[in-house]
Structure 1
């Protein structure tokens, strides 16, 4: 499904990403190239259910969201107002906004973190890597165009209905950028991919698009860039030259303290 490219140099990496348009492509770095793409909710639910059903997962998700609505005001000034006009886009925002906050503060959710920046993606791939690491690149605009064609006028309704236990289990994925961004999400140029079901991995859902060697309808839509651990130190130096460090990725004291570990091997 993915078009795999083994990256042998920083120059090769730049050559590959230079052709990927900012408004179309999103990126995700993973510190182990064999890890499958999956949401934190899926990872958590699989530790408790061998074969979870989507209807069960949606009910658990709904319970967590309702508890968040009821008590988040005790810890934050953020407000989430239920739309009164029934507009699908407003309703989806009402449902997805709390999930984005919950995700940022440690709740397992269906959302999968991505970034618009391939350089920030490689930062996250490097951080903690002990084996070959990778960056996934996805032309989400092409996927959404494909879904708009195959579902037509029902597309918006389907995107809303994924939060219903009665959802018919169509398999697709779409992007979501929170209206209320926190500092970390803005710094990291972050956004989320939303899977239509939460009892499957993102990989399993993407398979329904029938993408072969990274191409959908003859267009490149998926790359998996694989990096080798022997080049890890060099890539850290390259990112530091670009001022992409823990201090710039994580706000405040947290970023500074995280950055200190690089002294273990960058000064050697």
Structure 2
């Protein structure tokens, strides 16, 4: 079965946005979800919360994870922040990937038929240029090498920029390597990325959103298969293998059960 014209048009849209620029991608199973980091999503739960109060929560997350989990990680500062994000702590990091196919995988997971999914595309170097006038990546967050712990200290005045910045991280675990993971780190604005600079990132073609409708679900599933993307390739550990086996084996069972005899069922490989 050939890819649909609608899907091929999306691939052309990705290529057109890219041009000769580095592009990052983020897949979301709900297209209505904003580009807020996990930490800043507390805005949705606590109406009227301030940046000072968010920083207090951030500092507690960091200190607890550092002190209570030290035997399990032996990390500090930026490396610890990335580890916190990896294990699901709410941080001001927002996950992106350098791979379009990987972003599709995350958009496809938990995608409900009644709600469109989406892919966000970002030109990270142009984002940094807009925030700092410098078109480059930094292994540490911009501001003359100030450590993360200094930034969240309550006495620090000029800690984070107002706007988000693209961060090329230390890839300190196998999952972030497999997923070609990168981050934006949210500044002190309370706006999600798409609303920063009064929406100019969208207007200036630095940020773009592709809505994925239910009609192309089969195209995406086939594209992921052709790209060799599955749970185990992106989560190269026993958890990822278990999820991959649950899906792949049961997919074969379902196919044979509905289309073949019981003798064929016993030949599943």
**TM-score bracket, shorter-length normalisation:** 0.7 to 0.9
Greater fraction of residues in strand: 1
Paired residue secondary structure (2:12): helix
- In structure 2, relative to structure 1, the CA distance for the partners of 1:60 and 1:44 (3 Å cut) is same
**Structural mapping, 1:125-136, within 5 Å:** 125-130=107-112, 131-136=115-120
**Structural mapping, 1:239-258, within 5 Å:** 239-258=224-243
Structure 2 match to 1:61: 58
C-alpha separation between the residues in 2 aligned to 1:138 and 1:183?
24
C-alpha separation between the residues in 2 aligned to 1:37 and 1:146?
18
Paired residue secondary structure (2:152): coil
Structure 2: tracts of 5 or more residues without a match = 135-141, 259-269
| 8 Å Cα contact 2:40-2:190 kept in structure 1 | yes
Structure 1 match to 2:184: 193
Deviation above 6 Å: which 4+ runs of structure 1? Answer: 158-161
> How far apart are 1:162 and its partner, in Å?
5.3
Instruction: Kindly tell me the number of residue pairs found equivalent between the two proteins.
Output: 236
> How far apart are 1:13 and its partner, in Å?
2.5
User: What do you get for the CA RMSD once the two structures are aligned?
Assistant: 3.0
Structure 2 match to 1:226: 211
C-alpha separation between the residues in 2 aligned to 1:51 and 1:69?
29
1:183-209 per-position Cα deviation (integer Å, ceiling 9, x unaligned): 0000000011101127443334x2346
| 8 Å Cα contact 1:159-1:196 kept in structure 2 | no
Structure 1 match to 2:222: 237
> How far apart are 1:60 and its partner, in Å?
1.9
Structure 1 match to 2:143: 156
Higher relative contact order (CA 8 A, sep 6+): 1
| 8 Å Cα contact 2:194-2:207 kept in structure 1 | no
C-alpha separation between the residues in 2 aligned to 1:135 and 1:73?
36
Q: 1:34 aligns with which of 28, 32, 35?
A: 32
> How far apart are 1:69 and its partner, in Å?
2.4
Paired residue secondary structure (2:69): helix
Q: Which has the larger radius of gyration?
A: 2
C-alpha separation between the residues in 1 aligned to 2:191 and 2:92?
10
